[in-house]
Structures are given as structure tokens and as C-alpha cells.
Chains A and B, each alone.
Chain A
Amino acid sequence: MSSRLAARVTGKELGVRPRNYGHLQGLAARYARARLDGHAVVNRATQQPILLDWRRGLRKTTAPGTAPEVLLSLPALPSLLANARYLGSGEDPQCCSDVRQTHGFGAMVDVIGRPIELWLVAKEDGRGCLVFDRVLSRAPLIAPREDGGVLPDGPGARSQALHAVLARAHLPPRRQDGGEADGADDEGEVAPTSSDASSDASPEQIALGPTPMSQNGTTGMSPNIQPVLQGDPCDEQFHDDLQVCRSLPNETKEEVAIRQMCWKNAQKRYAACIAGRRRQDLPPLDTWSDRTASPQPRSMPSLPPLIFPTPPGQGTGGGFGLRPWHAIPFE
């Protein structure tokens, strides 16, 4: 099991701090519908595009009952899919006629300071396209009852887990020392700092943040590494807002308008924060609009046919010729 982080989640990616589990679920569903639906992400391990579709996977992932850590990780889904390692393929357990095979991916995500292993499932349809299906959390955040916690299915258990997760969001920002375990050295976030400044720096040394989802969906939307800020919480919030604004889609005219409004609101929030306003009194960060959240999913982009590289001696069946589905350690 590799400890390489595919993404890091701070709990602020959904725009506002969720009040309870139901609120979080609503936020995640709205985010998925407005920001993820219709996009495609290329998995680096397999070089195959994976389509994100509301009806065929995102709705299931954001349905009530989903683990809080999965809902919080949803904005990082493109990055997770892009950086996930391939586990294997197998027959569809549900035996759907339009599903040729099911493929499993594994990715490690840091949810507010706690690394969690997630399994991502994508289904290969009849046309050979991979479509994201669901996310499974391997390690629930709720402690077992014998450890002083409540069972995952107990009453209020998910809200309790959410509060436990969000409580960590108020911890002081961790300082990173030494090498990054995220493996995002080439496009990782750069931490604005009060030191290490030099006047003769070349333009190449300027901070370049992580790559949000591009039009062709080749990279993840959420940041791989969050900026490490020292000191001012307003600056920390401002840079979090910048990450959110950068990750907004930029396709339609309305989305561009929202993106521009997001940049403005980030400044407004920073000014209000630094003027001493309480966090809950800050103006909201506009990241979506009722006008852009279309009730119908967008038309799917035309994807190239899926051609699985088959290692020599492995035959032609079985997708990538790796482990069969039953060998994937899904409990």
C-alpha cells in the first residue's frame, strides 16, 4: 500500500463550512452537479479518460448515507482519479448488460490532516468508455464502540463523524518540513512565506499553484497540496479562496461571470477578515449560481475508444491483464 497522497482536503473546498451531515450532503451534491458533471479526467497510471457523470455515478456518490470523508473529498475527486493507482478489473458485480467491465483504482487522500485510503470504481461501458461509478472509504472515521465511539450505522453517527472531522479544521496549519509525500513536486502549491525571499529571482521561481481541471479534463480540479501559510488566518483564508476560484469551470459565459465574481469576493472576504469581522460574518464566496446548475446533465464529451494495453502472455481478456476483480481487496 503506497502512502503517496493523491490529494489533500482542508474541508473548505465546498465553499462553506457544513453545519451537519445533511448540509454536507447537500453541498456535495450541489458541487458535483455544478462543478464535476460532464468533465473527464485522465488517469495517469492507465492514460485512460474517466468520465464524471451525474446520473451514472456522481449522484450515487453524493447520496444520503455516504461517508462524511467521502463527501468532503468530493472536490478532490478529479485529482484523486488522475493520481489514483490501478488496482485491477473484473466482471460487473451487478451484471448490467451495458457494462463491459468494472475497474478499481486506489488513492490516498488527506482529509483535514488524516490520510484515508479511498477506492474508486469506474465502469467500462459498451463503447469502451470509463465512467466513474462510486467511491468507497476503506477506513471509516468513526471509532468503533469498543473504542469509545459509535458504530457507523448508529443514530447521529455520521454527524458525529463530520464534527470530528471538522473539529480538526480549526487546528493551526501544519508546517511541512522536509520532502513532500504528495508526489506533486512538479505542480504543487507554493507556500507564500515571510522568508526565503530574494530580489533576483527568476520568473520561473514564481509561485505556480496546482493545476485545476482544464477544459480537456486532463488534470485534477482540486489542489494536490494546500499552501502552507504561517501566521495570519486572513491570508490563509484568502489563499484557500484563491484555490476555490481557480478550480471553477470556465466554459460558459455564466461560468466565467461566476469565476470573476469569485475573485472579487475573495478580495472582499479578505478585506472583511482583516478589518476584524468574525468568520461567520464574512461575505460568501460565490462559486455557483442557480442559473448554471442545469437540471439536465451536460452532453458527454466525445472520448477516444478505450484500448487496454495487454502485457505479453496475459491474454486479451481481463482489461489491463492485471489482477481479476475478486483479487481486489474490497471488504
Chain B
Amino acid sequence: MKLRMTGIGRVVATRELRLSRRTKVTVEIGKPRKFRGSPDYFCPIRIRGMGDDFLSRTGGVDAIQALEFALVYLGSKLYYSDEAKAGKLTWDYGEVDGDLGLPLMEVAKKDVLPEKVSHIYLYRPNPPRPKAKRKSKK
């Protein structure tokens, strides 16, 4: 079957991770583009070097949010990959072993991630709401 998503278009950001000494994993983020007939934007993503090439996309209300969620999506995808769980996937510039330098949802971090990964970038999508003030009885 020929699928129409054959690439991510113009690549705007790349990160190289290391699976072993010789094997590299390339993460690419494409230029955010507008959905057809919609005010929202999507951001294409590609991961190369971990088996078959993986293509996906994220969305947002504007280009920056789509880009932001692309990073978060990559964080979830890569931190929970089998290679990362096995400790094989590394980033040369990571502060500790297993640090891929990608943001990660807080909801995901407290569940499975190994404790040694302590310097990940936590991403809290929904800021806590301020507590409602109690009405003082007059």
C-alpha cells in the first residue's frame, strides 16, 4: 500500500541519540504546518535508527504549541521505548545516563521511569488551578 505520508517535509530540528557506539538514532521534527480546513497546526515527526523509520505528528492550536507537543510526544515515545528502558539509548550531552534531554509529561514520569534519570525536564501540561477563596461570612 502506498501511503501518502512519505516524509515530514522541511526539517527544522534534529537530535542525534546513540543506541550503541556505532548505531545512531536520529530524531527529526518537521516544520509545523496548518491542517487543511482547520485553524490548528500539526508538526510532523520522524525517528530513524530504531527499527523501521517511524513517522507521526502532533497537533496544537498554533505552530508553537504543535512544536512544543512534538517535543513532549518524542519524550514519551523515546523514554518508554524498549531501548531506553534497557538503558541502551543515550544522548551524548545528557546530564546523567538515560537523559535524552527531552521533556516528559509528569503523568508519565512518576510511573515507570528509572530513578537514575533524575534530570529530565518535567512538563506539566495543566498548571494547578488557584484555590478558590472562601467567602467570608459577614
Contacts and interface: CB of A to CB of B under 8 A. Distances in A.
A207 B107 contact: no
Contacts of A192: 5, 54-57
B34 to A, nearest CB: 9
Nearest to A230: B52
Contact of B7 (A191, A200, A275): A200
Interface in B52-86: 52-61, 65, 69, 72-73, 76-77, 80
B136 interface: no
Interface in A226-280: 228, 235, 238-239, 242, 245-246, 250, 256, 259-261, 263-268, 270-272, 274-277
Interface in B79-137: 80, 104-105, 107-108, 111-112, 125-126
Interface string A17-36: 00000000000000000000
A106 interface: no
A203 B33 contact: yes
B123 to A, nearest CB: 8
Interface stretch (A51-59, A68-76, A141-149, A208-216): A208-216
B4 interface: yes
Interface in B1-56: 1-10, 30-31, 33, 35-40, 42, 44, 46, 48, 51-56
A83 interface: no
B56 to A, nearest CB: 5
Interface in A301-326: none
A12 B58 CA distance: 19
A206 B125 contact: no
Contacts of A270: 73, 76
Interface string A178-203: 10000000011011111111111111
A207 B61 CA distance: 17
Interface residues of A, number: 55
Nearest to A191: B3
Contacts, number: 156
Contacts of B53: 194-195, 197
Contact of B107 (A188, A194, A203, A272): A272
A199 B49 CA distance: 13
- Tell which of A200, A250, A275, A277 has the most Cβ of chain B within 10 Å: A275
Contacts of B80: 274-275
Given A206-B33, A271-B104, A277 B111 contact: yes
Contacts of B33: 203, 206
Contacts of B52: 194-195
A196 B40 contact: no
A279 B31 CA distance: 32
A259 B61 contact: yes
B69 A187 contact: no
A260 B65 CA distance: 9
A274 B108 contact: yes
- Tell which of B35, B51, B59 has the most Cβ of chain A within 10 Å: B59
- Tell which of B4, B35, B42, B48 has the most Cβ of chain A within 10 Å: B4
Nearest to A179: B1
A193 B40 contact: no
B9 A205 contact: yes
B46 A197 contact: yes
A112 B28 CA distance: 34
B7 A201 contact: yes
Contact of A207 (B31, B37, B44, B54): B44
Given A263-B65, A272-B107, A275-B108, 11 more contacts: A178-B1, A193-B5, A196-B5, A206-B33, A207-B5, A207-B44, A211-B36, A242-B58, A263-B40, A267-B76, A271-B105
Nearest first, the 10 A-B pairs at minimum CB distance are A201-B7, A211-B37, A271-B105, A194-B52, A271-B108, A203-B9, A197-B53, A207-B5, A275-B108, A190-B5
Interface of A: 175-178, 187-188, 190-203, 205-209, 211-212, 214, 219, 228, 235, 238-239, 242, 245-246, 250, 256, 259-261, 263-268, 270-272, 274-277, 283
